[in-house]
Chain A
């Protein structure tokens, strides 16, 4: 005996049994994984990844730094707590960035984005977008008077072109591409001159942007087009810089005469700042709050949407609660949870007796009655919801019958719809089969002999039910409840139709932000929170009951 225990037990093929078993186990695991793999990959690729990329929008904030790259950089040094406006440099960047954005029509999107944080910014961006040309013309007209060459697109092209400016071109091209979200590849047919770029940095930026847009998007020849108004404005900026003026004095390349004339007649140019010009377009630009909002949201990631989703906001002094009259989401989350709980509870109350009956009737009758349960289930959700509308409204079937029977006065008919009552009734009806089916399949497995045994041991009907039958049916209740609860939280079409304003869920808000207000970041934030709540519930459920115990009929 002792010999055999020490000797290795060998399997039929001569390998040690232990190794052979391990190998078999590994093979088994691999086979199981191979069976799961196709579906797992399918679900991960076509569902999990898209969902997460959608939810990622809740923190993503690229549009601000992408649309206003210069402004966000220049704003970084500004201290909003002083209550003073940012310096004119910021406004110059704003002009260059905004002009470019308005040509590509992305400034309106940025306005919509920032409007989520501070109402009023959308109209600010839209109205200013239309006035940018006027600002540029303040400089364009006198410049063209000083030297008519400035009217000529070919003259500008000749003056700005040169060598060594490839890096600058690529830098502006990249900025453009990230702003419009499309590739701007292609031949621009223009290379900025490095000499000019060092002499006239603002002008070169503006002109390069103009050249890229003209060549790539409009598909025109740069030399044949008159430059944007922003180029004149930019030249105006450069002419206020003593370094640039000094460089122009010693410059002798193409266009030197025109530039020198401009320097000589600088007093004909508007003696104003870009800050004042923007203030003239819309006085909101002169409000420090606007600027602190832009500064707060100039990073690539933002907690703003999540804060919004819990009725908070980011202020220069840190995170703060929103004003009372703008708080809605916490209340909505609570309402969603409470109503989903009520719906789940009513489903349990209504579903339990029916499931019990179905499980205890003879097969023949039970399957007939099962048709009654399945029938509404097979009917389109939309149709059932509109049926409830017909039943519940004030001139609806239920009220009509009650009035006819004299129980309700014609003048004060019951309000069963366009409030929480309507949502609860209709949703309970719609989700009831999801409760009955799992309950039924669990109850089906409970042996009736247990009950009889309990009774024969002297238990009353109630004790027998409560102490013997009910505990065994708990997994069914659990399965049905989790199913109903999760589905209830996510529904939005039924509440939308019968819920009015006080019977809607957080999912309705999500749908609203996705399809009407276009605030996808907030929708994603609300969705993420909802998802976390549901996952938490799912986790608890899995801990307590085990997800394997969920059964749907059958």
Chain B
């Protein structure tokens, strides 16, 4: 009797600790959705591979569909056929998915590991938990890179965001993302709107028109990109003089691929990227995902990821652990968007604003683009 009691108590303890479900209850296959490229490679190296080593019977399938995550999740949800288990999305998409009930709400303290010093997960992530459904992994920034060998003679290298709009001094094509986010803010900043007023102005139809008018001044010189790999390729080809993209992509082109490109950190826009769990997963798959997620977002794993790509870890406790590049052995800190030298002038992305106004402004922007 005593034995039985002690067994059941142990079982209860084990079950309540949440980390170790019986293996039978967890699905043995997991589909992770991410962005492909160097970013996905860093995720594979930092957490997917170590996790597979711990659980050799688990197979992980990657789907590089984060770009269309919202559309696909909506379709899957409508057809009641969610094949994804964990989806990597930017914060704005996470907010949107959460608003529409397509992502599961999570309790960080219950589902995520605490920091090594005992700080709760909720405090460790801090302000970065911008949505109830979102577990941030990294802080990245969208910024400009330019070809160093294409800077016109007698002119100093561009160091101001408004140089993007100055085609007289810096002739050549620019590549901008084929969506309003970030472009509209930059346009307003360079049209004399104060940094703190940007979103107030952008909330009005007149402000939206003002931003589009500013963009129209360089419309003929813009190549619009829609995939993360485009700008580095265009820069490598010398097809554009400067272009916006994620800082990690530029890091990879500059440091790993040795291209004549430099960063223009001015007015870089900070953003978050992280996981969401699709709503309505069956029990066994959910159990597996939770198990993986707890592992993949702990302090060490997030710090490990920064060895492969120059994105800042989302946990405060991971920051001191960021070290050197895994292959090149260079210090990663100076390449991080958060480095003081790079973040002299940063722009804070307003998730709430874009979650609310995305449909409105996107419709206008696309109509403007098509004309």
Residue ranges of A at the interface with B (Cβ–Cβ < 8 Å): 104-106, 108-109, 111-112, 115-116, 119-120, 122-123, 126-127, 129, 181, 325-326, 328, 332, 393-396, 418, 500-501, 509, 512, 514-518
Contacts and interface: CB of A to CB of B under 8 A. Distances in A.
9 contacts: A105-B100, A108-B99, A115-B360, A325-B371, A500-B223, A509-B370, A515-B68, A517-B359, A518-B70
Contact of B239 (A119, A393, A512, A516): A393
A106 B102 CA distance: 10
Contact of A512 (B173, B358, B366): B366
B107 interface: no
Contacts of A328: 367, 370-371
A259 B179 CA distance: 54
A185 to B, nearest CB: 15
B21 interface: no
Classify the interface of chain B: helix, strand, loop or mixed: helix
B123 interface: no
Nearest to A390: B237
Given A105-B99, A126-B356, A501 B367 contact: no
Interface residues of B, number: 33
B224 A501 contact: yes
Contact of B364 (A106, A112, A119, A123): A119
A184 to B, nearest CB: 15
A501 B363 contact: no
A294 B96 CA distance: 23
Nearest to B208: A119
A123 B360 contact: yes
B266 interface: no
Contacts of B99: 105, 108, 126, 129
B328 interface: no
A316 B364 CA distance: 22
A501 B369 contact: yes
A396 B238 CA distance: 10
Given A181-B78, A514-B71, A122 B238 contact: no
Contacts of A120: 205, 360
Contact of B359 (A111, A181, A395, A512): A111
Given A181-B78, A418-B223, A515-B68, 17 more contacts: A106-B100, A108-B99, A108-B100, A109-B100, A119-B359, A119-B360, A122-B360, A123-B356, A123-B359, A123-B360, A129-B99, A395-B237, A395-B239, A512-B366, A517-B359, A517-B362, A518-B74
Contact of A122 (B78, B359, B369): B359
Nearest to A501: B369
B105 to A, nearest CB: 10
A328 B368 CA distance: 9
A181 B239 CA distance: 49
Given A115-B359, A123-B356, A517-B363, A104 B370 contact: no
B207 interface: no
A108 B368 CA distance: 25
B278 to A, nearest CB: 14
Nearest to A123: B356
Nearest to A102: B99
B370 A395 contact: no
A394 B356 contact: no
A127 B224 contact: no
A517 B366 contact: yes
Contacts of A109: 100
B355 interface: yes
Contacts of A395: 237-239
A120 to B, nearest CB: 5
A393 B234 CA distance: 10
